[in-house]
Amino acid sequence: MGYRSFVAVGDSFTEGLNDPLPDAPPPAPGEVVRYRGWADRVAERLARLDPDFRYANLAVRGKLIDQIVADQVPVAVEMKPDLISFCAGGNDLIRPGTDPDQMAKKLAAAVRTLRATGADVVLFTGTDPRDTPIMRQLRGKFAIFFMHVRSIADLYGCHLVDMWSMQGLRDWRAWSDDRLHMNAEGHRLVAARVLHVLGLPGEDDWRKTWPPRERVDPRAKRREDMQWLKEHFGPWIGRRLRGTSSGDGLAPKRPELGPLSPAPTS
């Protein structure tokens, strides 16, 4: 009826950006903001099904697939959980010159290693980037990689969470201002989809239909796009040019497989 242990592996998506912890105090100067995210939400549900449930989240924002495979996958194998989620490749795909076919080979090798432990493994396709400025130009590369993910899931008997088909995630109300990370509502939808794929009871429906929005003036939309380029995409390019990452020096938020504290109230 459930799982006794769950290890989440990946990047900022699995770490939980930008789903703030309810009632968390403002961070002190220089302190790293910690987030909740879909994986914590799934773990909270699994913990309610089994009082002995344990959870670890090894994901770190900004990590590339090679870093995730080298640093997180061996730790997950050593922990021997019942359930492992593995989502990687998003940060690679938005870099120039990356080959989705080569990325898929690395993913497949890691999945073989994880499945060899006997754990159930959850894989993810990403969302369709066609509505995102600049990112839409990479849509073909995204689609190739996500088709590989579907094939790998089928080949190795993994659970697949297909976010490309989640129409609720096509609305910007499920995303934070940076247009790269989901907000609390987006993470809630993904958590609901994961539980559905696992055949476990959940409290939310991932098939969300948003209420209609007022028509946006095209000029206002262009201003929003320019503001996004300045505040979010520009700094991201700057980090790439400097060879730095938002996750440099950060440790996983839950590096040990252990019990959960009481779940947040919202």
Mean pLDDT of the chain: 91
Length of the chain in residues, anyone? 266
Structure tokens at 32: 């790293």
User: At residue 92, does pLDDT exceed 90?
Assistant: yes
Looking at the domain assignment, is residue 127 inside a domain? yes
CB 8 within 8 A of CB 85: yes
Structure tokens at 210: 């948003």
- Spell out where 141-219 has E strands: 159-162
Looking at the domain assignment, is residue 96 inside a domain? yes
Domain that holds residue 148: 5-207
Look at the chain and report how many structural domains it folds into: 1
Question: Considering all CA atoms of the chain, what is the largest pairwise distance in Å, rounded to the nearest integer?
Answer: 55
For residue 112, what is the domain's CATH number?
3.40.50.1110
Q: What would the mean pLDDT of 132-151 be, rounded to a whole number?
A: 92
User: At residue 78, does pLDDT exceed 70?
Assistant: yes
Looking at the domain assignment, is residue 252 inside a domain? no
Looking at the domain assignment, is residue 11 inside a domain? yes
Looking at the domain assignment, is residue 41 inside a domain? yes
Looking at the domain assignment, is residue 229 inside a domain? no
Angle, alpha carbons 95-18-133 (nearest 5°) = 45
CB 20 within 8 A of CB 36: yes
Q: What is the pLDDT of residues 174-218, one digit of tens each?
A: 999 888 899 999 999 999 999 999 999 888 999 998 998 777 777
The pTM of the full predicted model, rounded to 2 decimals, is 0.91
Tokens 């429906």 map to which residue? 205
